[in-house]
A and B are shown apart, each in its own frame.
Chain A
Amino acid sequence: MERREYKQEINITPELQARIDELLSHYPADKKKSAMLPVLHAVQDAHENWLSVELMNRVAEILDVKPIEVYEVVTFYTMFNQRPRGKYTFEFCRTSCCTIRGGEDMIEYACKKLGIKEGETTEDGLFSVVGVECLGACGYAPMLQLGDFYHEHLTEEKFDVLVEDCKQGKIKLD
């Protein structure tokens, strides 16, 4: 477990609270815990895409569960981050179907372009490159996920444009 401390400001805005309430309404009143994953997604999205211990404890309060139940869940699923990541995290699929159509080459290219290794974040905290397992876009390889969206049939040129667009703040993440 990484021990480095990161600070996170917790801010449950009225919009976020409304979203949480909506999600909770999808489950029977005595089965609040079932809303765990959707609520964690909502909370994480509103907090720069990561979950600190304090934030997880807050979720535990919201869902009326013990904090450890939230930790157990957060560490099980790959989409929940326990430390900050680059604002633009490129998640490249590296499973076979993508790999044979150039997936690995794309990761290599991205790393070289951004000057980082796979799994790292650029110093300005803007970009991360991560290899992930099958994202269900095998026929449209190579591909990457950025925020909520997929970018498919990647080429080096397309990736260059994407990075440029990110830098200019033109890319929507959700």
Chain B
Amino acid sequence: MKVTIDEHTIEVEPGTTVLQAARMIGGDCVPPTMCYYSKLEDCGGKCRCCLVEISKGSERDPRPMPKLQPSCVTAVQDGMEVKSATSPRALEARQAVTEFLLINHPLDCPVCDQAGECDLQNLAYGNKNFKTRYIEQKRTYEPEDIGPYIQLHMNRCVLCYRCVKLADQLTPERVHGVIGRGDHAQISTYISKAIDNNFSGNMIDVCPVGALTDKTFRFESRVWFNKPFNAHRDCPHCSGKVTLWMFGDHVQRVTARKDEYHEVEEFICNECRFDHKKAEDWVIEGPRKFEKDSVLNVNNYTRQLKKVKIDTDDLVLEGRKQDQKKISMSEFPFDQAEMEAIKKANEE
């Protein structure tokens, strides 16, 4: 299937999302994401940061989609044309989402451990000179203790649901979740229970903001003063492949290895993360590569990217042909007038 994003055309497999295709192309057209996480199932569509304009639905139905679409959960159709960074509408909507995410955010970056590697900071920075119009009091939450390893700062949370999905999919028993509703929804265990299982530390890695941070690293160092090294050890629980954040010879923090979209390559266990803070515990492979999007990647379509399986699209494909036509693209079947409109659009 062919899809064109910001004038770059690329061949993708059926079932690929627009976001995934954009990431294959790389560069400016990749929409920002706060809630989507390719390593977790059913994770995305909520933050609305990755909205794109679909200027041509598909070869079969070239009508543009009236609404902006969340690229992380929208499947590519053959012949689709998408405007991401070139769509003023999409950029404006993303800016609006940023403003919404910030109105109740404490903006306590100076004392936040996530500062420097925070997706919300990056998102806000991308908006350039922007002043908030919110003058009301910000919403705040009572602090909640969720155990010895993870610090929860609910005020900073953007409710991406990543940590919830992770706990569901990676740990034996989820003890935290989203409680309450609307703008008072919060991440909590409800009963101040310690989150204690061998993979809970990954919640820190998937958190896009400073809502979940590493208690063992709290106020130890700004992240930019650490030097990241790839390292590994023989671990009975996980792959043991990590990034060590070193200051001199000291290991100050251990995280999973993250790619350019800040997604971990492989989840690691708590033992690796919290209990091995000595350099001699690890085989250090060397300095971690600079991960920033490089201009070399633009137009390089050969980069391998794992295919994300989209259950939704499979289901659409399972249905009757006639359902598929109607459901996959639009809520309405084509009536005569529409057929003519399509024909006209095709001729043009």
Which residues of A are in contact with B by a Cβ distance under 8 Å? Answer: 1, 53, 66-69, 71-72, 75-76
Contacts and interface: CB of A to CB of B under 8 A. Distances in A.
B29 interface: no
Contacts of B191: 53, 71
Contact of A72 (B144, B173, B177): B177
B179 interface: yes
Given A69-B177, A75-B180, 7 more contacts: A67-B175, A68-B175, A71-B177, A71-B190, A72-B179, A75-B179, A76-B180
Interface in B188-241: 188-191
Interface string B139-180: 000101000000000000000000000000000011111111
A1 B188 contact: yes
Interface in B109-153: 142, 144
A32 to B, nearest CB: 17
Contacts of A69: 177
A72 B189 CA distance: 9
Contacts of B292: none
Contacts of B179: 71-72, 75-76
Contacts of A71: 177, 179, 190-191
Given A1-B142, A1-B188, A75-B190, A68 B181 contact: no
Interface residues of B, number: 15
Contacts of A68: 174-177, 189-190
Given A68-B190, A71-B190, A76 B176 contact: no
Contacts of A67: 175
Candidate in B144, B177, B188, B189 with the most chain A CB atoms within 10 angstroms: B177
Q: Which 3 A-B pairs have the closest CB atoms?
A: A71-B190, A75-B179, A72-B177
16 contacts: A1-B144, A53-B191, A66-B174, A66-B175, A67-B175, A68-B174, A68-B190, A71-B177, A71-B179, A71-B191, A72-B178, A75-B180, A75-B181, A75-B190, A76-B180, A76-B181
Nearest to A1: B142
Contacts of A72: 177-179
B171 to A, nearest CB: 11
Contacts of B189: 68
A76 B185 CA distance: 8
Contacts of B180: 75-76
A71 B189 CA distance: 9
B170 to A, nearest CB: 15
B184 to A, nearest CB: 9
Contacts of B173: 66
B327 to A, nearest CB: 25
Contacts of A75: 179-181, 190
A53 B190 CA distance: 9
Which residue, A68, A69, A72, has most C-beta atoms of chain B within 10 A? Answer: A68
Nearest to B144: A1
Contacts of A53: 190-191
A54 B107 CA distance: 37
Contacts of B190: 1, 53, 68, 71, 75
A66 B172 CA distance: 11
Nearest to A77: B181
Nearest to B188: A1
A68 B176 CA distance: 6
Contacts of B188: 1
Nearest to B178: A72
A66 B190 CA distance: 13
Nearest to A78: B181
A150 B228 CA distance: 64
Nearest to A69: B177
Contacts of B144: 1
Contacts of A1: 142, 144, 188, 190
B153 to A, nearest CB: 15
Contacts of A76: 179-181
Nearest to B180: A75
B24 to A, nearest CB: 36
Nearest to B179: A75
Contacts of B174: 66, 68
A66 to B, nearest CB: 6
A71 B170 CA distance: 21
Nearest to B181: A76
A67 B174 CA distance: 9
Contacts of A66: 173-175
A68 B193 CA distance: 10
B150 to A, nearest CB: 16
A164 to B, nearest CB: 36
A75 B179 CA distance: 6
